[in-house]
Amino acid sequence: MAIWYNMTAMNMKTVYFDNNATTQVAPEVRDVMLPFLCELYGNPSSMHVFGGRVAKFLDRAREEVAAFINAEPDEIIFTACATESDNAAIRGAAEFSGAKPKIITTAVEHPAVLQPCRRLKAQGHEEVELPVDSDGRLDMDALRRELAGTRGAIVSVMWANNETGTVFPVAEVAGICREHGAVFHTDAVQAAGKVKIDVKSVPVDMLSLSGHKFHAPKGVGVLYVRRGVRFKPFMLGGHQEGHRRAGTENMPGIIALAKACEMARVGMAAEVEKLSAMRDRLEAGLVAACPDVRVNGDRANRLANTLNISFEYIEGEAIAYRLSDLGICISTGSACASGSLEPSHVIRAMGVPFTAVHGSVRFSLSRYNTMGEVDYILEKVPPVIAELRAMSPFGPGRTGGML
């Protein structure tokens, strides 16, 4: 079949700096999951010994994932992805409440949070999207104002932003939510493996994780639900996951996720040090070599692996395409919508200056990147920027007849 045949053509050298989109499966992770694709194929819900053996591995995996965020094993629900976890948390909490609680989220959430919140708005809930400042910092006064006088609101604020790497003060958010009896969900997908997650010291009620964002494969996620927090399950059917998520468990994915959690738990401190050294060199090098750039996000509270940078007067898409030809994989801060280049909702919410909005790109690193790759990027990017700017109708003092 063509799809298999074409895979041989994919050995082109790539310098992959798009790890906030997805990551490489760690070889150690692949090794532990393989038996569950082969001989250990039993259904953990089966009564016989063959299923029972697999069920024991499911228990062990649940303990490992719980340890990663300092939760109890029965607070861990395995899902198919973080999009499912986000939907299940927000819609499940709203449905359980019976009334129509106020929904409070932020303007810079992932669509997996924003869209369910907007659906609830369409269904009659009051819904608020909290603003951020030009560095992507959350307006905590707005959060306090919106919660004042409410009881039982549902709040969803991400731990760290996928586009800028800005880390939100989730401990403070959790404390404020507690004062107002609000249910607090956090999308911690980008925090996993990069900042410490401890649900005993940061009292979140619900939390989402995604395997493929930290070196497990695609198709497995986690929803943490604190004991005593009630929600109506989203997936109905069998009794799996303590009646909270029906469907036969994705055993290879779950085992892989548990191994990725163990590796992140053990290796995080060293990894963060390595990531920030590479990211800081990349950032300093680009800022030094390219005039008219803007680093987007809260540089004082930012994931160690993320650099979102605007090259003024040019399009992020053009940069990404050129770099792709050189084997360099990055993301843009804008999405091409119906032929017009719309900046991302995150960059727009930050009120990034006009000249810098469209030229934003994201470099996101992982443990598998090297300083050599950083230097390769530092060699290749500045000439691309200079060339694109020479062709641009915009520039300092040049407005392309637009203004």
Euclidean distance between CA atoms 13 and 11, whole angstroms: 6
Helix (H) or strand (E) segment spanning residue 363 = strand 360-364
Query: Rule CB under 6 A: is residue 343 a binding residue for ligand PLP?
Result: no
Q: Which window, 77-85, 280-288, 289-297, 369-377, contacts ligand PLP (CB under 6 A)?
A: 77-85
Q: Are 123 and 130 in contact (CB under 8 A)?
A: no
Q: Is 336 a catalytic residue?
A: yes
Q: Figure out which of the listed residues 19, 23, 87, 190 binds ligand PLP, where binding follows CB under 6 A.
A: 190
Q: Smallest distance from the beta carbon of 133 to ligand PLP, in angstroms?
A: 20
Give me the helices (H) in 70-155, please.
82-97, 111-122, 140-147
Query: Rule CB under 6 A: is residue 163 a binding residue for ligand PLP?
Result: no
Pairing of strands 331-332, 360-364: antiparallel
3-state helix, strand, coil in the chain (%, to 5): 45, 15, 40
Expressed in angstroms, the distance from the first to the final Cα of the chain is 54
Q: Which window, 48-56, 187-195, 338-346, 380-388, contacts ligand PLP (CB under 6 A)?
A: 187-195
Which residues, in sequence order, are bridge partners of residue 160?
Answer: 167
Which residue, among 108, 70, 60, 65, has the nearest Cα to 223 in the 3D structure? 65
The DSSP 8-state label assigned to residue 168 in this structure reads P
Query: Rule CB under 6 A: is residue 64 a binding residue for ligand PLP?
Result: no
Tokens in use for 298? 């809260």
Q: Which window, 76-84, 91-99, 119-127, 192-200, contacts ligand PLP (CB under 6 A)?
A: 76-84
Report 208-247 residues binding ligand PLP (CB under 6 A).
Answer: 210, 213, 221
Q: Which is nearer to ligand PLP, 212 or 389 (CB)?
A: 212
Q: Smallest distance from the beta carbon of 305 to ligand PLP, in angstroms?
A: 12
Euclidean distance between CA atoms 289 and 385, whole angstroms: 10
Exposure string for 94-133, b = 16+ CB within 10 A, e = fewer: beebeeebbbbbbbbbbebbbebbbbbeeeebebbbbebe
Cβ neighbours, 10 Å, residue 25? 18
Query: Rule CB under 6 A: is residue 130 a binding residue for ligand PLP?
Result: no
Q: Which is nearer to ligand PLP, 61 or 293 (CB)?
A: 61
Number of residues that bind ligand PLP (CB under 6 A): 13
Q: Which is nearer to ligand PLP, 21 or 246 (CB)?
A: 21
Q: Smallest distance from the beta carbon of 157 to ligand PLP, in angstroms?
A: 12
Q: Which is nearer to ligand PLP, 213 or 367 (CB)?
A: 213
Q: Figure out which of the listed residues 83, 106, 310, 331 binds ligand PLP, where binding follows CB under 6 A.
A: 83
Catalytic annotation, residues: 336
Binding site for ligand PLP (CB under 6 A): 81-83, 110, 112, 158, 162, 187, 189-190, 210, 213, 221
